[in-house]
């Protein structure tokens, strides 16, 4: 084992051994730390922690620190209650005043970070009162938790934490398609979306204009686009560019806001809509080219692609086309671009693709096959 690994192991063992409940940490704060200490030690040992657990860990320790700091403030006020009168304060020298505040100011403004705690400890050096030992011990104990958090950062794994009680479902990924296969399928898909972009952009533009009118008609006097569309990030982003705040009457209180449509509001809505549709179409082409192209290339012998239709559907579009092969086999592929909103109001698009009316080399027909079956079974038959 090299020296760097030895030093790393020693540092972690020291941190793990030093983790304990600091003084002035009681009640729920104590329970939080007692819960997280074994978790920190395990994560340091395994050199791994999921990002979601790391966030919970930091939040739990931060809350415990806030509770502990409140306790230390109470302790200070209890033992430092004889405040000087106005006359006494005015008669003090600057040095005497600084001595009075030397212990109060640092801990009342100490953030839970290494820089803040070290500043607090530097402030203690100027104080020689009876409480110095307790405060010094308190700050150093919390510095150990900061060191532990810093040591865990290189071992954070981002992504969704697996559920141990839920079976892992493997997601099939089709093999990559060659340049020739990409070009052939992409040209057919372009026929599916031809002419739909303009109509879909019109729908989005009208929707954005209605959103702006709704904001102007139904907003409260103090509402801004951010507040009115708090659960709709897309509506907030576009309406914020379509309206402008006016000064209104001088009799209006400052909290009251007055808005009106900008002169180029419709052009702004159109530009925003064009961007959304352009992104949707391009992602539709890329995703379906890979899905269909891998099957076509594995099978070989493609004679023609018959585009059945391409039509608008809600806030997206759908298409259908039939792939014919030289050995008499064929399949129908149906695909969509479906515009959604998640529970937080953020927009996203899904691109479901399914294979239907599949004809095998021996004449057998399947009503529907999965993407994996098309690649691993039908294309090799």
What is the model's pLDDT at position 227?
84
Examine residue 259 and state whether it is found in any structural domain, yes or no: no
Query: Do 277 and 194 share a domain, yes or no?
Result: yes
CA distance 119 to 38: 29
Query: Do 301 and 357 share a domain, yes or no?
Result: yes
Residues paired with 245 in a beta bridge: 259
Residues 6 or more apart from 308 whose CB is under 8 A from it? 319, 320, 321, 322, 332
Q: Other CB atoms closer than 10 Å to residue 131's CB: what's the count?
A: 17
Query: Do 318 and 197 share a domain, yes or no?
Result: yes
Number of structural domains (the chain) is: 2
What is the model's pLDDT at position 233?
80
Arithmetic mean of pLDDT over the chain: 79
Examine residue 232 and state whether it is found in any structural domain, yes or no: no
CA distance 210 to 97: 63
Domain range enclosing 288 = 183-214+268-380
Residues paired with 313 in a beta bridge: 316
The candidate with the shortest Cα–Cα distance to 148, out of 4, 3, 5, 13, is: 13
- The answer to whether the beta carbons of residues 239 and 265 sit under 8 Å apart is no
The candidate with the shortest Cα–Cα distance to 189, out of 320, 65, 296, is: 320
Of 116, 142, 157, the one marking the end of a domain is 157
Of 140, 157, 174, the one marking the end of a domain is 157
Examine residue 108 and state whether it is found in any structural domain, yes or no: yes
Query: Do 203 and 92 share a domain, yes or no?
Result: no
- Residues of the chain below pLDDT 70: 1-17, 76-84, 98-116, 122-131, 167-182, 247-256, 342-345
What is the model's pLDDT at position 178?
56
Examine residue 141 and state whether it is found in any structural domain, yes or no: yes
CA distance 243 to 209: 11
Instruction: Give 40: exposed, middle or buried? Use CB within 10 Å, 0-12, 13-18, 19+.
Output: buried
CA angle 277, 280, 282 (to 5 degrees): 110
- The answer to whether the beta carbons of residues 365 and 359 sit under 8 Å apart is yes
pLDDT in tens, 117-143: 777 776 666 666 656 777 778 878 888
- At 339, which helix (H) or strand (E)? strand 330-341
Q: What is the pTM of this model?
A: 0.52
What is the model's pLDDT at position 265?
92
- At 312, which helix (H) or strand (E)? strand 302-313
The candidate with the shortest Cα–Cα distance to 296, out of 150, 181, 159, 215, is: 181
DSSP 21: P
pLDDT in tens, 323-378: 998 889 999 999 988 888 766 667 788 889 999 999 999 999 999 999 989 988 99
Examine residue 258 and state whether it is found in any structural domain, yes or no: no
Query: Do 345 and 205 share a domain, yes or no?
Result: yes
The candidate with the shortest Cα–Cα distance to 12, out of 45, 61, 39, is: 45
What is the model's pLDDT at position 356?
95
Examine residue 163 and state whether it is found in any structural domain, yes or no: no
SS3 state at 119? helix
Query: Do 27 and 143 share a domain, yes or no?
Result: yes
Residues 6 or more apart from 297 whose CB is under 8 A from it? 177, 178, 180, 181
Q: How many CA atoms lie within 13 A of 173 on its CB side?
A: 2
């Amino acid at each position: 084992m090299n020296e760097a690994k030895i030093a790393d192991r020693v540092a972690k063992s020291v941190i793990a051994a030093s983790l304990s409940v600091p003084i002035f940490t009681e009640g729920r704060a104590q329970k939080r730390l007692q819960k997280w200490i074994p978790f920190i030690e395990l994560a340091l040992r395994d050199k791994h922690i999921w990002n979601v657990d790391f966030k919970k860990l930091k939040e739990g320790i931060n809350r415990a620190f806030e509770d502990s700091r409140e306790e230390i403030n109470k302790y200070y006020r209890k033992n430092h209650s004889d405040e000087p009168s106005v006359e006494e304060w005015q008669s003090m020298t600057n040095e005497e005043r600084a001595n009075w505040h030397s212990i109060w100011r640092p801990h009342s403004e100490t953030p839970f970070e290494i820089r803040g705690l070290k500043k607090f400890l530097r402030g203690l050096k100027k104080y020689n009162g009876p409480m110095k030992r307790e405060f010094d011990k308190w700050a150093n104990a919390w510095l150990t938790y900061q060191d532990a958090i810093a040591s865990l950062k290189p071992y954070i794994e981002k992504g969704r934490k697996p559920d141990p009680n839920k079976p892992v479902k493997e997601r099939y990924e089709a093999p990559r398609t060659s340049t020739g296969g990409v070009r052939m399928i992409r040209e057919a898909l372009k026929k599916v979306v031809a002419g739909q972009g303009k109509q879909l952009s019109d729908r989005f533009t009208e929707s954005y204009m209605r959103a702006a009118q709704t904001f102007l008609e139904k907003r409260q006097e103090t509402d801004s686009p951010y507040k009115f569309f708090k659960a709709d990030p897309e509506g907030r982003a576009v309406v914020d560019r379509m309206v402008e705040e006016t000064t209104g009457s001088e009799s209006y209180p400052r909290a009251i806001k007055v808005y009106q449509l900008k002169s180029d509001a419709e052009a702004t809505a159109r530009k925003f809509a064009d961007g959304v549709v352009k992104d949707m179409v391009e992602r539709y082409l890329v995703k379906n080219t890979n899905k269909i192209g891998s099957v076509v290339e594995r099978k070989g012998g493609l004679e023609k692609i018959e585009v059945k239709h391409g039509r608008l559907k809600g806030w997206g579009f759908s298409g259908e086309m039939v792939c014919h092969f030289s050995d008499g086999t064929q399949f129908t592929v149906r695909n969509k671009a479906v515009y959604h909103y998640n529970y937080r109001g953020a927009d996203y698009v899904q691109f479901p693709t399914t294979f239907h009316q599949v004809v095998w080399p021996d004449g057998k027909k399947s009503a529907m096959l999965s993407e994996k079956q098309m690649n691993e079974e039908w294309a090799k038959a």
